[in-house]
A and B are shown apart, each in its own frame.
Chain A
Amino acid sequence: MVNTYAPQIFNLAYHFTGTREEAEDLTQEIFLKLFSSIKKYKEEMNFTAWLLTLARNHLIDRYRREKKAKSMRQELDENLLTEASELSPENNLARKEVQTLVWQALDQLSPEVRLSIILFDILGKTYEEVAEILNIPVGTVKSRINRGRLQLARLLADRRPEKGGLP
């Protein structure tokens, strides 16, 4: 169970909070919750969705409790960013810069919108899966993702000195 699900939970927590330390704490707390509430899980349920719902509730609770003392999002480790072979070194550098800006801008989104974006765009879940995890209609998921991406696009356009296209 740990090997299969811990990386997903850790990545969800990492992209949500923006710090490795918080992500580690949150992953442990979420697994503690999982072990104590595993009796509530029923066989007919989708386990991944059930676990991610548990994680989502914990992340939102924690966010609401600690939003005043919220720590800053760490710098995204650029060494982890992959280089596209079809792009020149300059364009790869520009793309990494954009990725770092987008990563920083995730903090500007509301927690619910941020979670939708992380689940759909970063973790690659479908609209239906996100809807099940967040316990909201598919239409609401689409609208949150639309809203979140547009907000990030505006922030990106504002922060970038030159308003060019894709590198």
Chain B
Amino acid sequence: MRCQQIEEKLNDYLEGYLNPPEAEAIEKHLQQCSNCRQLFLALQEVRLSLQKMPQITIPPSLVENLYQLPATQKRRRFSWHRLLSHPLPQQLTAALASLLLAISFYSLMPNRQALVNYLNQQFHLGYHRISRLVTKAEYLTVNLEKVGDSLKIPIQSLKEEKPKD
């Protein structure tokens, strides 16, 4: 076997995963090749060092912090920032802000009476237009009922009617 093939199997050899003929081939190569032997020895040391690596004791202060995390999260859940960053409160806030702006604009306006008169005028004008539209609609409804029957043209007569030149 070549050195590269040996390298690929060194871990399996170390873990005892190879079958006897493969293991024998590795051992034979390691006896002959000093580079692979050095690598194998280093690999053994690496494996042992990793497996003996210390497990660190978790600091008590960190454990205490971790126990407090759910409570911190609950507080965060009910914070104003989170509430205001929600889409619906954002829209309500915008509407409220617009209303406040309009009120402050009105209350600070020097010529307030003119604005009141203008709004009154516009309101009455609008009311008058709407009442005219309602009257027209009522008139049309009554008249349509009267002429309703005469509008019912038999389909047959429409089919027979030829287009004029």
Contacts and interface: CB of A to CB of B under 8 A. Distances in A.
Chain B's interface size range is: 20 to 34
Given A2-B67, A32-B73, A150 B49 contact: no
Interface string A121-140: 11010000000000000000
Given A102-B50, A152-B46, A28 B65 contact: yes
A156 B45 contact: yes
B59 interface: yes
Interface stretch (A5-13, A41-49, A60-68): A5-13
Contacts of A50: none
Interface in B27-70: 38-39, 41-59, 62-63, 65-67, 69-70
A39 to B, nearest CB: 13
B30 to A, nearest CB: 12
A154 B58 CA distance: 32
B7 interface: yes
B42 A154 contact: yes
A115 interface: no
Interface in A1-27: 2-3, 6-7, 10-11, 14-15, 20, 23-24, 27
Interface string B70-111: 100100000000000000000000000000000000000000
Contacts, number: 109
A146 B48 CA distance: 14
Chain A interface, >50% SS class:
helix
B69 A7 contact: no
B147 to A, nearest CB: 66
B26 interface: no
Contacts of B52: 81-82, 99
B48 A166 contact: yes
Contacts of B57: 7
A156 B73 contact: no
Contacts of B56: 10-11, 14, 20, 23, 80
A36 B10 CA distance: 44
Contacts of B160: none
B63 A121 contact: no
A154 B70 CA distance: 46
Contact of A24 (B10, B39, B55, B62): B62
B55 A7 contact: yes
B140 to A, nearest CB: 60
Interface of B: 7-8, 10-12, 38-39, 41-59, 62-63, 65-67, 69-70, 73
